[in-house]
Structure 1
C-alpha cells in the first residue's frame, strides 16, 4: 500500500510538471515520494516497480499531442521508465552503503548522466529533460549559461534526494541537506544577478502565424497563403518593423510555382526588411527550408533534424548563420542542444525560428527553444503555426507571446535586445554532464567496494 501511494503521488506530480505540462514548482517535489521509498526498507523490486509506474504515468500527457505516434512513444516510455527505475535502485544502494553525503548525490549524478547520454543518441534530442520544467521560472535556469541544462536537472534531483533523505533519516541527513541547500541558494543568487544585469538597446521584431494544421500543397493554395503573409508583412513594414519571422512550411513550393514567394523579395527590397519564412521545397530532393529575404539577397537554410516517420525529407548539413550575429534554425533543430551550441560558436546574438507545433505541445517546444537562448546568450523570435509565437530575450524572459490556434493570422510585436552571445557553456560545452558521469562511476565503485567489504566481514 505504501508503494502504491508513492506511485500515485509521484505519478500525478510528474504528469503536471514534465513533458507537455510545466507546473514548474511541482517538479521540485515530484520525485520525493519515490526516493523516500527507495531510502526505506522497501524491497528492491518494489522500488523498481513503483518508480517505473510513476515515471510512466508522468509521460502519459505525451499522447495528448503525439497520438499518431502512439506505438513508438509507448516503446520509448517503457525503455525510459525502466532506466529511471534502475537509477532509483542505484540511489537505494548508495543510501545503504555510503555515508549520507555520498548517498544524497547518487541519484542526481546518475540521472543527469542518463539524460545527457539520451540526448546524444536519441532522435528526439534532449526533449523531456527535467530541466525544461523550470523555463517558466527564468531565475532558476540562468546557470545553464555556465553548464548547459544539465545543472538544472542535477539540482532538481538533488533537492528531491535531500528532502527524501531528511524525511527518512532526520539528523543524519543534516549535512547533505545543507550542502544541497547551498547549491540551491547559489543557483538562485546567480539567477537573480544575471536577470538584474542591464540590457542593451532594443530592436522591434515581429512574428506571424496561424493555426493551420495542414500543408497547403497546390499552386493555388501556395499562392494564396504566401499573399496573405505578404500583406501582413507589408503592414508591419509600414510601421517600421523590419525583422519579421513566419512559420515553418507555410506551403509547398514546387519549381513550377516557385515565384509564389516573390512577394517577399519585393517587400524586402522595397523596405529593407529581413523576412524569414519557411516552405516545403518539393523537387527531386524535397527539403524543409527557410528563406531569409533581404536587400542583400535571399539566404536559405535547410532543417537538419527531421521528425522520424513524419518528415521523409533530405536533412540539411550546415548552420543557418546569416552574419552580423543573426541566424536561423527550424523547429525541431532546437531540441538538440549540441547542434545549437555549435551554431552559437559562430557568434549568434539573435535567432529566428520558424516552427510548426502539434497544438498541445506548444508550451513544451517553446520552452525547449527558449532554453537554447539562455544557454548560448541569444535572443529569439519564434513563429510557430498551431502553437505559440514568442519573442524572448537572452535570459529567457518572454517579451511577447500569442497562441496560434485560429485560421486567421496572429501577429506579435516586441522590443528585444540582442543577446551578448558566447556564454561559458557555448565555449566549454558539456563539461558538467561529463563530470556527473565521472561522479556516478566513482560512487558506483565506492558502493561496490563497501558492499564487498561488508560481505567478507
Structure 2
C-alpha cells in the first residue's frame, strides 16, 4: 500500500519539480544551470510510468514553467499573450511533450543509448523546423537561456544554436535513461560523457586560446523614452531629437570608432531626409566616428513602411542604407551592407534579423568582424527592464555562431557590447531619469567565419536523422513486464538491447 501511495506521489512531484526548474531556468532572467536540470524529474518519471501519464506530466510541467513569461506577454507588442503568446507557450509545451514521449518509447524498449540521444535530437529538430517555418524566427530557446555562460555558448561556433539546444538536454536525458530498468548504463554514460566533455572542453580551449582582433572602441546610445516609433523629422520634436543625439555623440570619450543608435530612432515621409542626413554626416566627420541609426521611412503613396538603418562613415561621406531582412511590416531587404570606410569590417542588421542565423552568418562569410544592431522592443513605457536581457543574448548568440562582436542599441530594453566569444564587455538597461542611456567599451573584433559559418545547419540535419532513427525504433514491439512492487508496470522488448 505504501509503495502504491509513493508511486502516485511521483507524478505531482515530477510535474512541480520540473515546472519550478523551468520557471527559474528559462525566460527573461534565467539561471543557466537550472535549465540543464529542469527536464530531469519528468524524464525520470518516464522510466517508471505509462505513456499517457508521462506525456501529460511533461506537457503540464513545461506549460507551468512558461508562467515566467505570462506577465510580459500580457503587454508585449511583439508577443501578446493572446493569441501569439498562448500559441508559443502551448506549442513549445507540445514540443517538450514529444521529446519526453520519444524518450519514454525508447526506454521501454531498452534502447537506452538511443533514448538519451534521440530525445535531445527531437527537441532540437522541432525547434529548427519552427525557426525555418516561423516568419519571426526564434528567440527565447534553451540556447538563449545560456546567454551568460560563454563556456556553453562556444558550441554554437561549430554546431550553431542547435548544438547548444542538444547539449543542454543531453545530460538529463542520459542520467534518466541510466536509471531505467535494464538500462545499458555503461555505454550510455560513456557516450554522453564524451559528448559533453568534448563540447565543454572545446569551449574552454576556444576561450583560453582566443586571439583578440584589433580593438574597436564602440558606443551604444538610446533615448529613454520607452517604447516609441521615432518622431517624424518634419516636426520640431524630431529635429530637436537629432541635435540631442548629436550632443550625446559629442560628449562621448575620445577614440570611439562606432556609435549605434536604436531601430526607428527617427521616422520621415522622405526616403533620404536632409534633416537627419546632413547633421549626422557632419557629426560623424567632426568626431571621426561611424554612426549607425535605425530609420523608418513612411512611403504613403506606396502604402509601405521601410525599416532602414543608415550607416554614416567617419569621413562624413554619404551614408550606406540597409533594409531589414526579416520584417512582417516592411518589405524585406536582401543586400548585405557594411559601414563604409570602417577599419574593421562592420556589418549592419536590425533587431528581428537576429532571430535567424542569417544574415549574420552571411556577413561573417563576407568578412564582417563586427555587427552593428539597432533594435526596438515592443513593450509599453515602464516595462523596459523586462525583455532586454533575452533580446541582447539572442544577438550575442548570433555573434558566437558567426564569430562577430556585437554593438546593440535597444530603445526599450538594454544596450550591449560583446566580443565574438560571447563575453559581455559593456551593458546598460534603458530607462531611468536621464534623457539618454549610453555605454562605451573597447571590444576586440571578432574572429569572423566559424565552422558554423562554413557548414551552416548541419547539426540540425543530424538531429533530424537521429530523431528519425528513434521514431523507427519505436515501431519495435514491446511487451509488458510483470508489475513492479510499487505498482507501476515495466516493459521489455522482444529484440533485447
Aligned match of 1:298: 319
For this pair of structures, how many residues does the alignment match? 451
Shift of 1:112: 1.1
Aligned match of 2:456: 429
Q: Give the TM-score normalised by the residue count of structure 1.
A: 0.93
Aligned match of 2:205: 193
Distance 1:196 1:301, change over 3 A: same
Distance in 2 separating the partners of 1:216 and 1:293 = 18
Between structure 1 and structure 2, the one with the greater Rg is 2
Aligned match of 2:267: 252
Q: Is the aligned partner of 1:276 residue 2:303?
A: no
Q: What pairs up with 1:67-106 in 2 under 5 angstroms?
A: 67-68=74-75, 69-71=80-82, 72-106=84-118
Aligned match of 1:383: 409
3-state secondary structure, aligned to 1:383: strand
1:222 touches 1:253 (CA, 8 Å); kept in 2? no
Q: 2:215 aligns with which of 202, 215, 221?
A: 202
Q: Give the TM-score normalised by the residue count of structure 2.
A: 0.86
3-state secondary structure, aligned to 2:25: coil
Distance in 2 separating the partners of 1:35 and 1:169 = 13
Q: What pairs up with 1:5-404 in 2 under 5 angstroms?
A: 5-40=13-48, 42-68=49-75, 69-71=80-82, 72-169=84-181, 172-197=184-209, 198-212=211-225, 213-218=227-232, 219-236=235-252, 239-255=254-270, 258-261=273-276, 262-284=278-300, 285-294=304-313, 295=315, 296-306=317-327, 308=328, 312-322=329-339, 325-357=345-377, 358=379, 359=384, 360-404=386-430
Shift of 1:91: 0.9
Distance 1:240 1:56, change over 3 A: same
Q: Is the aligned partner of 1:410 residue 2:430?
A: no
Shift of 1:257: 9.6
Structure number with higher helix proportion: 1
2:312 touches 2:339 (CA, 8 Å); kept in 1? no
Q: Deviations over 1:10-37 (max 9, x none)?
A: 1111112223232100001000011111
Unaligned runs of 5+ in 1: none
Distance in 2 separating the partners of 1:159 and 1:398 = 27
Shift of 1:390: 0.8
Distance in 2 separating the partners of 1:245 and 1:256 = 20
3-state secondary structure, aligned to 1:4: helix
3-state secondary structure, aligned to 2:474: helix
Distance in 2 separating the partners of 1:247 and 1:351 = 14
Distance in 1 separating the partners of 2:119 and 2:311 = 45
Question: What is the root-mean-square deviation of aligned Cα atoms in Å?
Answer: 2.3
1:18 touches 1:27 (CA, 8 Å); kept in 2? yes
